[in-house]
Structure 1
């Protein structure tokens, strides 16, 4: 002990950081609001979203320089401006110009910036929709997922996400119409993730004696 007194934070600080334990609170509240006002994501915010969606942050940060950080600000500024990037395809294509960013990460950035319009491309949610489609539980009203995984081809993956987001948007408005529009897609994303996880756990437990 160096004899230095450590001040215990106020109770409000404990509650504040307890909320931040769930990274989504930071992304979909603080980052979303700040970006909406500022007009772009800062590099730190961008890398936090990337870290949440995929384990690529260390590589990106190692390669990060003034030029890359400025590209992030410019790209997210264009994405947040509907007058510059008018469609979902245009927003995706703009984000894909950032080195190291693929469709899954781009979808996460869009979901943070526009939670009422865009869903995170989650492999478990995708697989659940694929199984529903295969069983005929998704019809023309919702659309369907034709293949088991998202394509590794960037152009096809872009089309896959456009279809995926269209299906989730329709399902979210149907299943979660009691929630504010800004919360529907994220809650549906989490519900599908939980459904798929529970099914995997049940299959695992059935194999135990």
Structure 2
């Protein structure tokens, strides 16, 4: 994807974002974590909050790994998320990789879910990686469902460039691309 530019205008991007979050669940979660970050210092997630993120990200597939996720204790969730969010490094890519790796220490959390956790907690910095958005950037590649931290970093760089060009957050441009893929898929099916 070096020439990914399927958006004609910022208004199209905004319209896609609105459609993607038509029930405002994404905005609600982002606002919730924004407030929690101000009140809970150091910031971490509880098991209930992690489940909210998992439900948001996995939707109908929420129960897919529920058995393995039961191995996560409330204390481990707190310690691992607190450590991930506390990571600071002068190299942003290294910081992102460390956060991803820490979050994937949780049972049932791989890079896509770790990216969702980071995105909802830090929407100005991160975006979710998934097969829909990957397909938009790399239409000739085989459908992917798992990603390495390096693939996420390359993807995130592209997302950030697009977000900057349309003056939205990485999280918002991610939603616009996700919705675009849904709409294109529906056209193909009809």
Deviation at 1:185, TM superposition (A): 1.4
Whether the 8 Å contact between 1:50 and 1:56 is mirrored in structure 2 is: yes
1:156-200 CA-to-partner distances (Å, cap 9, x unmatched) read: 5222212111110111111x22x4xxxx21221121112212222
More deviation, 50-59/96-105: 50-59
- The alignment of Structure 1 onto Structure 2 pairs a total of residues equal to 163
TM-score, reference length from structure 1: 0.68
Structure 2 alignment gaps of length 5 or more: 1-20
Rg comparison, structure with higher value: 1
1:22-80 CA-to-partner distances (Å, cap 9, x unmatched) read: 32122111123213531111111111101111234585478537x61111111111122
Which residue number in structure 2 is paired with residue 34 of structure 1? 36
Structure 1 alignment gaps of length 5 or more: 1-18, 135-146
Q: Within 1, Cα distance between the matches of 2:189 and 2:65?
A: 34
Which residue number in structure 2 is paired with residue 48 of structure 1? 52
Which residue number in structure 1 is paired with residue 8 of structure 2? none
Residues 6-25 of structure 1: pairs in structure 2 closer than 5 A:
21-25=23-27
Whether the 8 Å contact between 2:125 and 2:170 is mirrored in structure 1 is: yes
TM-score, reference length from structure 2: 0.74
Higher relative contact order (CA 8 A, sep 6+): 2
